[in-house]
């Protein structure tokens, strides 16, 4: 019997779960639109055909929404891969299977390194001195940057953030605000419904350049393009991203990594 059938309303169920889980989270208990359980996972998998997945870097694009089920073991990567091989075609099938391969790779690194993935696997590729804690204005979504504040609000309210937004946010936290990636990892770990240890930690390390050959970063043009101008047209803030890639490389890292897009 599903838990929801034991209560007369969703509000009653939320109140019950909030009491049972008290102390495990820092914000208000908010019901999520993602349904839990094997039945819901299989229904979501059946609907997913990877149509439009080749444009997954666009925030408004069609994504699988299977990551939470994979993270909690409700679906296996083998059955997801088998479904996509059977039901998807061409580039979109290949692109999705590549993402599964990255997920598998991160799990293999976790198996090899254990809790070592929660510390720098390599030295950062630029001279930096990171602070330990996330600044309060980030935690409270009041940086004054519409894009950043929206990402934080969405994460806290829904437990989800589009993958490209995760990369942008991680770059902002690590490079612009000079904050240790481990603080960002903890923040995601608290709020993301799909925030498993391997993908979360190693993606942050990839951005920070402690698990990659160079730091990842973006500029305003990149955010504008892949968010379909959701933030920039109405933004009145002094934008820290509004520079060319070479100029940002020099100001953030003091060297040229050859990023061009």
Residue 104 forms part of a structural domain: yes
Q: Are residues 64 and 145 in the same domain?
A: no
User: What pLDDT shows up at residue 11?
Assistant: 78
Residue 111 forms part of a structural domain: yes
Q: Please say which residue of 82, 116, 150 terminates a domain.
A: 116
User: What pLDDT shows up at residue 1?
Assistant: 38
Q: Are residues 111 and 39 in the same domain?
A: yes
Full domain range(s) for residue 204: 136-253
Residue 60 forms part of a structural domain: yes
Looking up tokens 């838990």, which residue turns up?
3
Q: Are residues 210 and 248 in the same domain?
A: yes
How many domains is the chain built from? 2
Concatenated DSSP letters of 72-113: TTSS-HHHHHHHHHHH--HHHHHHHHHHHHHHHHHHHHHHHH
CA angle 17, 19, 20 (to 5 degrees): 65
State the CATH number of the domain containing residue 229.
1.10.579.10
User: What pLDDT shows up at residue 4?
Assistant: 52
- Along the 261 residues of the chain, how does pLDDT read in single tens digits? 355 557 887 778 778 888 888 877 666 766 677 888 999 999 999 999 998 898 999 999 888 999 999 999 999 999 999 999 999 999 999 999 999 999 999 999 999 999 999 999 999 999 999 999 999 999 999 999 999 999 999 999 999 999 999 999 999 999 999 999 999 999 999 999 999 999 999 999 999 999 999 999 999 999 999 999 999 988 999 999 999 999 999 999 987 776 554
Looking up tokens 């940086």, which residue turns up?
143
Q: Are residues 105 and 142 in the same domain?
A: no
User: What pLDDT shows up at residue 27?
Assistant: 66
């Amino acid at each position: 019997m599903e838990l929801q059938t034991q209560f007369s309303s969703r509000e009653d169920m939320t109140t019950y779960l909030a009491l049972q889980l008290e102390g495990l989270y820092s914000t208000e208990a908010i019901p999520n639109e993602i349904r839990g359980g094997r039945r819901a996972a299989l229904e979501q998998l059946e609907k997913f055909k990877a149509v439009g997945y080749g444009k997954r870097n666009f925030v408004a694009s069609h994504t699988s929404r299977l990551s939470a089920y994979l993270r909690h073991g409700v679906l296996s990567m083998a059955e997801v891969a088998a479904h996509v091989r059977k039901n998807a075609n061409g580039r979109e099938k290949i692109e999705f299977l590549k993402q599964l391969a990255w997920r598998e790779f991160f799990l293999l690194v976790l198996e090899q390194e254990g809790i070592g993935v929660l510390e720098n696997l390599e030295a950062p590729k630029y001279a930096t001195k990171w602070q330990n804690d996330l600044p309060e204005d980030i935690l409270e979504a009041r940086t004054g940057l519409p894009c950043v504040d929206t990402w934080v609000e969405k994460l806290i309210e829904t437990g989800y953030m589009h993958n490209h937004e995760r990369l942008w946010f991680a770059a902002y936290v690590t490079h612009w605000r000079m904050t240790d990636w481990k603080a960002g990892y903890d923040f995601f770990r608290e709020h993301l419904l799909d925030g498993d240890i391997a993908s979360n930690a190693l993606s942050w390390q990839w951005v920070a350049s402690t698990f990659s050959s160079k730091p990842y970063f973006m500029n305003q043009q990149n955010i504008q393009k892949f968010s379909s101008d959701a933030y920039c047209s109405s933004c009145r803030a002094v934008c820290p991203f509004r520079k060319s890639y070479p100029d940002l490389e020099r100001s953030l890292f003091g060297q040229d990594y050859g990023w061009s897009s």
